């Protein structure tokens, strides 16, 4: 973990937040303000812009975002991302992206507690539909409606308007 400076009343206060994509993540910035600095999330940022979700994800929230990396998008069949970011596919792209967003702030400890008591944890997404979480080795997986599982690779990246958990696979509604 790296110590990031957080401005409170003009004074910098150290706060632990993991680096993402080689960039410091600041708890006093929005999801979008932090994501644009991650070299591992350029595809996600481009998709968010194409879907017209920048204003939403810059809003008050709180939101929990399961943020796929560039490598996660690269796992999709060739041409998928290029097709999705076309204006005529905006509705489909929006549906996929909002399927990665859960209302509220859900920290890794919340997921772990639910999984420990129930075996799995399920959270509804903004798009509709659920994400299901389970223990996998020393971490957790999130499974989409189609049965595809993503690993949470970096958890609890605090944001001004929620939290990001980095994942290694794009989830599909």
Domain boundaries, the chain: 27-167
| Mean pLDDT in residue range 19-31 | 92
**Distance of CA 13 to CAs 10, 28, 64, 66, Å?**
9, 11, 24, 27
**Distance of CA 124 to CAs 13, 74, 79, 143, Å?**
34, 26, 29, 12
For the cut 90, the answer to whether the pLDDT of residue 6 exceeds it is no
Starting at the edge strand found earlier in the chain, the sheet holding 121-124 runs 101-103, 63-68, 162-167, 149-159, 139-143, 130-136, 121-124
Cα-Cα-Cα-Cα torsion 124, 130, 135, 138, nearest 10 degrees, comes to -70
pLDDT category, 157, cuts 50, 70, 90? very high
* Positive/negative CA dihedral, 156, 136, 39, 2: positive
Q: Residue 140 in contact with residue 6, Cβ under 8 Å?
A: no
Q: Residue 54 in contact with residue 36, Cβ under 8 Å?
A: no
For the cut 70, the answer to whether the pLDDT of residue 73 exceeds it is yes
Across the chain, what does the average pLDDT equal?
91
Give the span between the Cα atoms of 46 and 41, in whole angstroms: 9
For the cut 50, the answer to whether the pLDDT of residue 37 exceeds it is yes
Class of domain 27-167: mainly beta
Give the span between the Cα atoms of 4 and 34, in whole angstroms: 12
Query: Which pLDDT score, from 0 to 100, does residue 16 have?
Result: 77
pLDDT category, 13, cuts 50, 70, 90? very low
More confident residue, 163 or 2: 163
Which two three-digit tokens encode residue 40?
């591992």
Query: Which pLDDT score, from 0 to 100, does residue 15 have?
Result: 58
Q: Residue 165 in contact with residue 117, Cβ under 8 Å?
A: no
């Amino acid at each position: 973990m790296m110590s990031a400076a957080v401005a409170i009343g003009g004074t910098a206060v150290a706060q632990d937040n993991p680096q993402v994509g080689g960039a410091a993540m600041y708890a006093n910035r929005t999801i979008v303000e932090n994501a644009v600095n991650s070299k591992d999330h350029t595809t996600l940022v481009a998709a968010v812009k194409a879907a017209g979700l920048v204003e939403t994800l810059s809003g008050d929230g709180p939101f929990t975002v399961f943020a796929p990396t560039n490598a996660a998008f690269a796992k999709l069949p060739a041409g998928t991302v290029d097709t999705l970011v076309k204006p005529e596919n905006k509705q489909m792209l929006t549906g996929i992206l909002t399927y990665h967003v859960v209302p509220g702030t859900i920290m890794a400890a919340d997921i772990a507690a639910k999984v420990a008591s129930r075996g799995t944890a399920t959270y509804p997404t903004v798009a509709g539909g659920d994400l299901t979480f389970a223990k996998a080795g020393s971490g957790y997986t999130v499974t989409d409606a189609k049965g595809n599982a993503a690993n949470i690779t970096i958890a609890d990246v605090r944001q001004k308007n929620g939290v990001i958990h980095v994942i290694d696979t794009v989830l599909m509604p």
